Structure 1
Amino acid sequence: MGLVTNIEKKIKINKATSIGAIVLAIVIVIVGFIFSYKLVQDARKSIYILDNGVPILAKQTDLLLNRPVEHRAQIDLFHHLFFTLTPDDDFIKEQSKKALYLIDDSGMKEYMNLKENGFYNQVISSNSVITVKADSIVLNEENLKFTYYGTQTINRKTSLIIRKLVTEGYVEDVPRSPNNPHGVMIKNWKTIDNSDLSVKQKYR
């Protein structure tokens, strides 16, 4: 009877040891999988920048944390390209081309409207230099609607005009490209206010 009892105990011990070994192996596999997954995710956040042919490791910031910054940067960039003009037809076309890569057809409609009304010809004929500076960009991160507040300066031969520039629209995430490195598309854009703040005559 004692022999049978010892055998049963040994069987139970072996069984418990086997189960324990299996559970431990499963835990090791799960931990290894999690660790490997984390390594892969971290590797995906790593990018290499070539400096004179030498790869330098750089760390990519969290996309979600950085996205609002990119949205505002894109809004600012578009307005800079669209409204910075000199009396040079090639420059105007190049600036407009770059700007229109960043916006939907609402940008093309505004461009064609200005062109048909002779605005760009007037810039050239009056030898005007037009610049714009962003005062603030208000962005609702929930519906991605923005309002741009800026100051437009029109420097002509005979006058210096300062205008208020207020526009609004929406931003949408799109795949990044060489022409749209931020991967942000401006949509349903329109000008709300472009009234004069001051007009100063120049005297020779």
Structure 2
Amino acid sequence: MEAPNFKSLKDIDTSFSLMRLFMLVVIIGCLGFSSAISFWAFDAVEKSRQKVYVMDGGKSIMLAMAQEHNMNRPAEARDHIRVFMKAFFELEPDENQIKNSIKEASYLGDESVGRLYKDLSEKGYYQNLIQGNVHQKVEIDKNNIIVDFTQSPYKFRAKGREILIRETTITVRNLVVEGYLIDVARTDNNPHGFQIERFLPVDNTDIETVNRNNQSTY
């Protein structure tokens, strides 16, 4: 009987070892390539989420960064509150002006705004403005509008002054309000994309009343 060829067996074993090594290298290479593709795809998707395309009058497309948009939300929230307070509290002794102004404010808030308007109407507040020929102005400093963006809905507190101008006197009142903001879709009537909830005046006390003959015009 012919003796086994140990050299041939050794060559076969070496070949199998090299084959296993080659397959291992191929598998590792495939895994590395797949990981790189996955990372690239994830990065591309993440970057695409940061881009918003806006139609400019149907003629051209402008590119806006979503990240910059989100950074601007606190400023938009403060302006939303300021615009609302101007619409709700800055009134003239004119029934149509009051209704239109309250309607403008209602687009920026929920039913709590309507309830407050109804309550003031039933108490004769607006009728007294008209009959007394009272011009009601509001001074709101954006630095006195605080919005907590750590949790949604976003709680806010705003401070300002309410000025009631009558024929012979000027009355200055504190105006402190609280409420919450939620994100909603932007519309022509609500360009900031916020809605005020649970709106509540917490301080509307008189500061002073002066005679107009002794005070400069507001």
Q: Within 1, Cα distance between the matches of 2:135 and 2:46?
A: 49
Normalising by structure 2, report the TM-score.
Answer: 0.78
Distance 1:127 1:13, change over 3 A: farther
Which amino acid in the other structure matches residue 145 of structure 2?
Answer: I
Distance 1:40 1:6, change over 3 A: same
Normalising by structure 1, report the TM-score.
Answer: 0.82
- Aligned positions of 1:112-131 closer than 5 A: 112-131=118-137
- In the alignment, structure 1 segments of 5+ residues that lack a partner are none
Of residues 31, 41, 44, the one that matches 2:46 is 41
Deviations 1:77-109, CA, capped at 9 Å, x for gaps: 321221122233333222212212332322111
Q: CA shift at 1:194, angstroms?
A: 0.8
- In the alignment, structure 2 segments of 5+ residues that lack a partner are 1-5, 214-218
Which amino acid in the other structure matches residue 81 of structure 2?
Answer: I
- Aligned positions of 1:3-18 closer than 5 A: 3-18=8-23
Question: In angstroms, what is the RMSD of aligned CA positions?
Answer: 2.6
> What secondary structure is seen at the aligned counterpart in 2 of 1:82?
helix
**Structure 1 counterpart of 2:91:** 85
- Aligned positions of 1:124-203 closer than 5 A: 124-135=130-141, 136-142=144-150, 144-171=154-181, 173-178=182-187, 179-203=189-213
Structure number, greater radius of gyration: 2
- Aligned positions of 1:63-102 closer than 5 A: 65-102=71-108
Q: Within 1, Cα distance between the matches of 2:185 and 2:35?
A: 36
**Structure 2 counterpart of 1:31:** 36
Q: What is the percentage of aligned positions where both structures have the same residue?
A: 29
Q: Within 2, Cα distance between the matches of 1:34 and 1:180?
A: 39
Q: Does 1:56 align with 2:56?
A: no
Q: CA shift at 1:51, angstroms?
A: 4.1
